[in-house]
Structure 1
Amino acid sequence: KEAASRPPRYLEMHVILDKALYDYMGADKDVVVAKIVQLFSYVNSMFAPLNLTIVLSSLEFWIEKDKIPTTGDAEELLQSFLQWKNEHRVSWLQDIMFLFVYREQSRYVGASSARKLCLKSHAGGVALYRRAMPLEAFAVAVAQLLGLSLGMELEDPGSCQCAGAACIMRPSSVHSPGVKAFSTCSIRDFQRFLAAGEGQCLLNRPAAMDVAYKAPKCGNKVVEPGEACDCGTAEECRRDPCCTIGCNLRRGVQCLTGPCCRKCRFRRKGAVCRRSSEDECELKEYCNGTSAQCSPDLWVMDGHPCGRNTAFCYRGACQAADKQCQRIFGSDAKNGPLACYEEINSQMDRMGHCGSNGHGYQRCAWKDLQCGKLVCEYSSSRPFTKEKAAVMYALVQNKLCVTLDYMKPPNERDPMLVNDGTVCGDRKASDALMCSSSFGRRRTCRKHCSGNGI
Structure 2
Amino acid sequence: VSLSICDGLRGYIRKHDQRYLIEPLEHSDQGEHAIFKYEHKIQDISNGSCVVYNFSKREAITQGSRSSLSFPKLYFQYRRHNHLQKWLRTRIFGMVNFVNMLYKTLNIQVILVGLEMWTNGDKIEVNSNLGTTLLYFGGWQETTLKKRKNFDHAQLLSGNWLSQTAQGTAYPWGMCVPYHSSSIVKDHLHDTNMVADKMAHELAHSLGMQHDTYPCACTYGRCVMDGGGSIPSQGFSKCNRNQYRQYLLDYKPMCILNVPLSKDIITFPKCGNQILEVGEECDCGSLEDCTNVCCEANKCILKPGSACGGGECCEACKIKKAGILCRTAKDECDLPELCDGFSPKCPVDRFRVNGFPCQNSEGYCFMGKCPTRDSQCSEMFKDEAKGSHDICYERNKGGHKFGYCKKVDKRFIPCDDKDLKCGKIYCTGGQYFPSYGEDKTYHLKVPEQNITVECKAFFPFQYTEDLGMVASGTKCGDGKVSLKVKGIQSSLRVRKICFWNFLLYFYFMYQFFPHRTPLDSGHFYWLSPCSYNSLSPHLYSLSSWYLKEILQCHLQQETFSNPVATFNWLFHSDFIYTLLIHSCLCE
Superimposed CA distance per residue, residues 1-36 of structure 1 (whole angstroms, 9 cap, x where no aligned partner): xxxxxxxxx9975435799xx9xxxxx999986453
Name which of 326, 344, 368 aligns with 1:273. 326
1:441 pairs with 2:501: no
Work out the CA distance in 1 between the residues paired with 2:136 and 2:483.
36
Name which of 299, 305, 312 aligns with 2:364. 312
Aligned match of 2:93: 37
Q: For residues 72-87 of structure 1, what are the structure 2 equivalents within 5 Å?
A: 78-79=134-135
Aligned match of 1:186: 255
Deviation at 1:350, TM superposition (A): 1.3
Change (3 A) 1:316 1:238: closer
Deviation at 1:76, TM superposition (A): 6.5
Work out the CA distance in 2 between the residues paired with 1:422 and 1:227.
43
Work out the CA distance in 2 between the residues paired with 1:394 and 1:241.
65
Q: For residues 206-221 of structure 1, what are the structure 2 equivalents within 5 Å?
A: 214=268, 218=271
Does structure 2 retain, via aligned residues, the 8 Å contact 1:108–1:128? no
Aligned match of 1:291: 343
Aligned match of 2:413: 362
Does structure 2 retain, via aligned residues, the 8 Å contact 1:218–1:246? yes
- Say which SS state the counterpart of residue 341 (structure 1) adopts: helix
Work out the CA distance in 2 between the residues paired with 1:140 and 1:443.
53
Aligned residues: 358
Name which of 398, 401, 404 aligns with 1:350. 401
Does structure 2 retain, via aligned residues, the 8 Å contact 1:282–1:299? yes
Does structure 2 retain, via aligned residues, the 8 Å contact 1:304–1:440? no
Does structure 2 retain, via aligned residues, the 8 Å contact 1:231–1:245? no
Does structure 2 retain, via aligned residues, the 8 Å contact 1:272–1:285? yes
Deviation at 1:251, TM superposition (A): 1.4
Does structure 2 retain, via aligned residues, the 8 Å contact 1:110–1:126? no
1:386 pairs with 2:433: yes
Name which of 54, 58, 68 aligns with 2:113. 54
Work out the CA distance in 1 between the residues paired with 2:296 and 2:372.
49
Change (3 A) 1:55 1:322: closer
Superimposed CA distance per residue, residues 37-65 of structure 1 (whole angstroms, 9 cap, x where no aligned partner): 34557999x9xxxxx982445499xxxxx
Work out the CA distance in 2 between the residues paired with 1:359 and 1:108.
29
- Say which SS state the counterpart of residue 258 (structure 1) adopts: coil
Deviation at 1:429, TM superposition (A): 2.9
Name which of 255, 269, 272 aligns with 2:308. 255
Q: Percent identity between the aligned chains?
A: 23
- Say which SS state the counterpart of residue 396 (structure 1) adopts: strand
For 2:473, the aligned partner's letter is G
Superimposed CA distance per residue, residues 385-410 of structure 1 (whole angstroms, 9 cap, x where no aligned partner): 5143323213132341412223321x
Aligned match of 1:7: none
Aligned match of 1:194: none
Aligned match of 2:298: 245
Work out the CA distance in 1 between the residues paired with 2:396 and 2:345.
46
Work out the CA distance in 2 between the residues paired with 1:247 and 1:320.
46
Deviation at 1:371, TM superposition (A): 0.3
* Structure 1: stretches of 5+ with no match in the other structure: 1-9, 23-27, 47-51, 61-66, 117-121, 156-170, 177-182, 192-204
Q: For residues 101-250 of structure 1, what are the structure 2 equivalents within 5 Å?
A: 115=178, 125-126=183-184, 185-186=254-255, 214=268, 218=271, 223-231=276-284, 233-236=286-289, 241-250=294-303
For 1:366, the aligned partner's letter is D
1:416 pairs with 2:468: yes
Aligned match of 1:324: 376
RMSD value, Cα: 5.7
TM-score (norm: length of structure 2): 0.46
- Say which SS state the counterpart of residue 184 (structure 2) adopts: strand
Work out the CA distance in 1 between the residues paired with 2:344 and 2:81.
40
Does structure 2 retain, via aligned residues, the 8 Å contact 1:13–1:98? yes
Change (3 A) 1:395 1:332: same
Change (3 A) 1:282 1:187: farther
Change (3 A) 1:175 1:243: farther
Change (3 A) 1:401 1:239: closer
TM-score (norm: length of structure 1): 0.57
Change (3 A) 1:434 1:139: same
Change (3 A) 1:320 1:189: farther
Does structure 2 retain, via aligned residues, the 8 Å contact 1:112–1:125? no
Does structure 2 retain, via aligned residues, the 8 Å contact 1:238–1:244? no
Instruction: Indicate the larger mover: 304-313 or 217-226.
Output: 217-226
* Structure 2: stretches of 5+ with no match in the other structure: 1-72, 104-110, 120-125, 160-164, 210-239, 246-251, 511-545, 550-587
Change (3 A) 1:425 1:58: closer
Work out the CA distance in 2 between the residues paired with 1:224 and 1:12.
17
Deviation at 1:348, TM superposition (A): 0.6
Deviation at 1:373, TM superposition (A): 0.6
- Say which SS state the counterpart of residue 324 (structure 1) adopts: helix
Aligned match of 1:15: 78
Deviation at 1:370, TM superposition (A): 0.9
For 1:292, the aligned partner's letter is P
For 1:436, the aligned partner's letter is L
Work out the CA distance in 1 between the residues paired with 2:270 and 2:291.
18
Change (3 A) 1:38 1:404: same
Work out the CA distance in 1 between the residues paired with 2:97 and 2:127.
28
Aligned match of 1:64: none
Larger radius of gyration: 2
Deviation at 1:415, TM superposition (A): 1.0
Deviation at 1:69, TM superposition (A): 5.7
- Say which SS state the counterpart of residue 356 (structure 1) adopts: strand
For 1:54, the aligned partner's letter is V
1:400 pairs with 2:453: yes
Work out the CA distance in 1 between the residues paired with 2:199 and 2:342.
31
